[in-house]
Amino acid sequence: MQAEIDFSHYLRNAGAGLVHLDLAVEGINCAGCMAKIERNLSTIPDVTSARVNLTDSRLALEWKAGALDPALFVSRLAELGYKAYPFERDDAETLEAQRAQGLLRRLGVAAFAAMNVMMLSIPVWSGNGSDMLPEQRDFFHWLSALIVLPAAAYSAQPFFSSALSALRARGVNMDVPISIGIVLALATSVIETINHAEHAYFDAAIMLIAFLLAGRYLDQNMRRRTRAFAGNLAALKSETATKFISPTEIRTVPAAAIRPGDIVLLRPGERCAVDGNVIEGRSEVDQSLITGETLPAMVTPGSAVFAGTLVRSGTLRVRASAASGGTLLDEISRLLDHALQARSRYLRLAERASRLYAPVVHATAFLTMLGWLAYGASFHDSIVTAIAVLIITCPCALGLAIPAVQTVASGALFGSGVLLNAGDAIERIAEVNRVIFDKTGTLTLPELDVANLAEIPGDVVSLAGRLALSSRHPVAAAVARKAGAASPLPDIQEEPGQGVYGLHEGSPIRLGRPSFCGADDLANEILCRDPEASVVAFRYGEFRYVFAVRQRSRADAADVVAELARMGIAVEIVSGDREPAVRLAAEQLGVHEWRAGVLPVDKITRIEELARQGCKVLMVGDGLNDAPALAAAHASMSPVTATHLSQAVADAVFLGERLGPVLAAVKVSRRALRLMRQNLWLAVVYNVLAVPIAIAGLVTPLIAAAAMSGSSIIVMLNALRARAREAV
Amino acid sequence: MEVLIILVPLALSLGFLGLLGFLWSLKSGQYDDLDGAAWRAIADDAPASDQGRSK
């Protein structure tokens, strides 16, 4: 299948007659894989470069244009045992990567400046106590200024620009006191140097910048890594579409290459990769990923279909549309815009802290100046003391307190299978006291499963599985998957809309609708017990069996629900599916509160109602219909199988077949929030100890440098405690 | 103390060279794959594709 993909969308011209292709490769996890792949691909003639990126599990290839078919690389990698998919960096990831690199560059400049200034500062500190000539001291101060002023002007730009934009919006963030501190420290130092004074704070200012940049870079790098990983997952899902390139010819192309107006062919068993309208054909479709409704719906020419729809019975031709005329999608995007606006009003812990912090510190500095003036000190001395107060309180620890914990906690979450989308996700997830689960695809697995496997003999299951391989119907595919069948039976024919049949060892064998296999009685028996199941019948000679195929709960769903309840978090199911299906799921999982048949707008209404009662809701959902609710809730998570839109608006995405990561996210986030608060208190304690020394006018640059580094290191070490992972 | 006339420019230019070296290594993508770089250092022999790699 892969070899048929049209790669032209992903090829880049690398100049000098070379072509460049990026592949996301599944299964690269050690140096051995890296060496094996690079060596093997380099031996292909005309390949000029094959380079594996182990951090991101990607492979960059360059070869002479026109010399090779890109599909060759994919098949060569498959021979080596790796699945590879063409890959395209999305804008968000490119942006994160650029930011991370920019921060690293600034960090490098600040760190080099700090090192060189230290070389000048240490002679001054020791010389002040002994026999240094004032001219020498001035010379060293001027040299420090020469290094620090340009370095600070360049490397502190992220703080300055963020402080400016906060001030423009008439708000305060952590960068405002940081910027004021840096600017004042540098300005005083220059003035003091001109006046031949003993003390200058160039070293403290540049070290502060370097420390803060280190914290931000680590945070940004974690985010970049998460994005890269998410990008790989999207590539590994390898969404392709079968496009008509002429009225009769088709070609498999990446979904990203489909333009509005293109006509796409959908066959039974395929998942639609685009939004559009049916122009030809009729079929039962499974829209559970979009609406949460598990019962198949019928589409005919004119019906709208959405990306994620699973085609069950017939073949469809669909015209892709950009702005879909589908009322569902329109309504969802309208609700979504509204909900996202409301969310941007959330105030982060750091902002709340700096709202308190900035006025207190600046008032203290001002009072210090007034106090010394009243006490009879000279104007110059009073100003210098006031600025020393600002420098010593300059929120080095405060600026690191939150980002450091955040970085470490997102690393721990990454290890537990949770990828964070939003910067403030940890804080919001930590605050939740109620979880709303969507049912279909969230509490249940998105793939169908055979429910009554235990009642059917093993040899029958494996024979039925081999027969089912000849059918593309999703229900039959579930039987084949569950039986672990790999070798299809020979000479099998398909009766469209009925099933598949043939001869096996001389006896007739068939699989399909109960009526097709003469097993209506058995099927009805199952349907009476479990009206939510889809049935598929199997007949071999005189033996008849009926498989009940249905969506299965995630294996640990009941445990997660129980554990959440133990933590004092209320659990509720709000689903777009019909009542019997939701009631059954709720009973199985021990959830007492549930709502069925809920429309997207009513999901939001429910969340708003809970918010008015003071609940902080974590919404966990995957469908297109959940997207507005995900955006409206206090915090939100999506499984990685969710629709694009839902994944994009959720605060976090979790991987795998288990629900455990949701629990892990809550636990890790709560621990992280506790550590953030602790770190803030540590910073406060530090200030309470240091500020009186500064007010008394006893702070020398040596004390300032030591105190700042000491507090930063304590806060960093405390943040490392967020590293403990949650087993999932 | 006349030695400062030599030592100070020397120290500053060495620091500046170090910074240039860092910026060059950043630009040439040496920080893009820290995990891989750690293993490449102890790999048996460098894959042929590494030779003449410019980016």
Is a pLDDT exceeding 80 seen at residue A327? Answer: no
* Residue pLDDT, tens place only, A356-368: 888 888 899 899 9
A115:B12 CB<8 A:
no
**pLDDT score at B45:** 62
Q: With a cut of 80, say whether residue A728 has pLDDT above it.
A: no
Q: Which of A344-348, A451-455, A702-706, B23-27 has the lowest mean pLDDT?
A: A344-348
Which residues of A lie closer than 8 Å to B, measured between beta carbons?
30-31, 34-35, 38-39, 41-43, 47-56, 101, 104-105, 108-109, 112, 115-116, 119, 136, 139, 143, 147
| Whether A49 and B8 lie within 8 Å, measured CB to CB | no
Per-residue confidence band for B51, with pLDDT thresholds at 50, 70 and 90: very low
Looking at CA atoms only, how far is residue A122 from chain B in angstroms? 14
Percent of chain B with pLDDT over 90: 27
Q: Which segment, A217-226, A380-389, A428-437, is predicted with the most confidence on average?
A: A428-437
**B49 and A53 in contact by Cβ < 8 A?**
no
A25-39, A616-630, B40-54: least confidently modelled range: B40-54
pLDDT score of A322:
61
User: Residue A637: which pLDDT band, with cuts at 50, 70 and 90?
Assistant: very high
Which residue numbers of B have CB closer than 8 Å to A's CBs?
Answer: 1, 4, 8, 11-12, 15, 18-19, 22-23, 26, 31-36, 39-40, 42-44, 47-50, 53
Report pLDDT for A102: 93
Q: Which residues of A touch B13 (CB under 8 A)?
A: none
pLDDT tens per residue across span A83-102:
888 877 777 788 888 899 99
Q: How far is B31 from chain A (nearest CA, A)?
A: 9
Least confident interval from A420-429, A474-483, A719-728: A719-728
All residues at 6 or more sequence positions from A373 whose CB lies less than 8 Å from its CB, including other chains:
A379, A382
Residue B1 to residue A136, Cβ atoms within 8 A: yes
Q: For an interface test with A, which of B3, B23, B49 has the most A Cβ atoms less than 10 Å from its Cβ?
A: B49
| Chain A residue with minimum CA distance to B35 | A55
The catalytic residue among A56, A175, A424, A438 is: A438
Inter-chain CB proximity A54 and B26 less than 8 Å:
no
DSSP secondary structure code for residue A352 in this structure: H
What is the least distance, in Å, from the CA of A650 to any CA of chain B?
Answer: 27
Helices (H), A195-310: 202-236, 288-291
Nearest to A392 by CA among A675, A697, A40, A17: A697
Q: Once rounded to an integer, what is the mean pLDDT over residues A345-352?
A: 75
Q: Which of A153-157, A256-260, A565-569, B27-31 has the lowest mean pLDDT?
A: A256-260
Q: Between chains, do B53 and A56 touch, taking CB under 8 Å as contact?
A: no
The enclosing H or E element of A304 equals: strand A304-305
- The listed range with the strongest mean pLDDT (A253-257, A632-636, B28-32) is A632-636
**Which amino acid makes up residue A22?**
D
Distance from CA of A426 to the nearest CA of B (A): 26
Q: Tell me the percentage of chain A whose pLDDT exceeds 70.
A: 96
Task: Name the packing angle between helices A71-80 and A31-42 (round to 10°).
Answer: 140
Q: Do A53 and B31 touch (CB under 8 A)?
A: no
Query: What is the rounded CA–CA span in Å between residue A118 and residue A703?
Result: 14
Query: Which chain B residues are Cβ-neighbours of A49 within 8 angstroms?
Result: 49, 53
- Give the Cα separation of A179 and A394 in Å (integer): 9
Q: How confident is the model at residue A344 (pLDDT cuts 50, 70, 90)?
A: low
Contact present, A669 and A426 (Cβ < 8 Å): yes
Reported as a pLDDT band with limits 50, 70 and 90, residue A725 is low
| pLDDT tens-digit map of A484-496 | 888 888 888 888 7
Chain A positions touching B53 (Cβ under 8 A) are 49, 51
What's the Cα-to-Cα distance from A478 to each of A286, A295, A400, A528, A552, rounded to whole Å?
14, 16, 51, 21, 12
Residue A56: predicted pLDDT: 84
Each residue's pLDDT tens digit, A378-403: 888 888 888 888 877 766 677 788 88
Give the gap in angstroms from C-alpha B2 to the nearest C-alpha of chain A.
11
Residue A2 has pLDDT above 70, yes or no: no
Residue numbers in A near B35 (CB within 8 A): 54-55
Q: Which of A171-180, A226-235, A398-407, A431-440 has the highest mean pLDDT?
A: A431-440
Residues A294-312, mean pLDDT to the nearest whole number: 83
For residue A3, what pLDDT band results from cuts at 50, 70 and 90?
very low
User: Across residues A35-63, what is the average pLDDT?
Assistant: 87
pLDDT at A617: 93
A698/A558 Cα distance (integer angstroms):
62
Say which range, A10-14, A19-23, A160-164, A514-518, has the weakest mean pLDDT.
A10-14
Give the mean pLDDT of chain A.
84
Work out the number of other CB atoms within 10 angstroms of the CB of residue A195.
10
Set of chain A residues whose Cβ sits within 8 Å of the Cβ of B36: 31, 34, 52-55
Computed on alpha carbons and rounded to an integer, the radius of gyration of chain B in Å comes to 18
pLDDT of residue A367: 92
The better pLDDT of the pair A289, A79 is held by A79
Lowest mean pLDDT among A337-341, A496-500, A580-584, A628-632: A337-341
* pLDDT at residue number A395: 64
Strand order in the sheet with A444-450: A444-450, A543-553, A534-540, A507-512, A499-504, A493-495
Averaged over A509-531, what is the pLDDT? Answer: 84
In this predicted complex, what is the ipTM?
0.81
Is A262 assigned a catalytic role?
no
Question: Taking 80 as the threshold, does the pLDDT of residue A508 lie above it?
Answer: yes
Cross-chain Cβ contact B26/A116 below 8 Å:
no
Q: What span, in angstroms and rounded, lies between the C-alpha atoms of A617 and A620? A: 10
Domains and CATH numbers, chain A: 2-87 (3.30.70.100), 240-334 (2.70.150.10), 446-552 (3.40.1110.10)
pLDDT tens per residue, range A601-614 = 888 889 989 989 98
Q: Is the pLDDT of residue A108 over 90?
A: yes
| Size of chain A in residues | 728
Q: Which of B8, B20, B33, B42 is most worth mutating to test chain A (most A CB atoms within 10 A of its CB)?
A: B33
Q: In the predicted model, is pLDDT for residue A530 greater than 80? A: no
pLDDT band at A259 (very low <50, low <70, confident <90, very high): confident
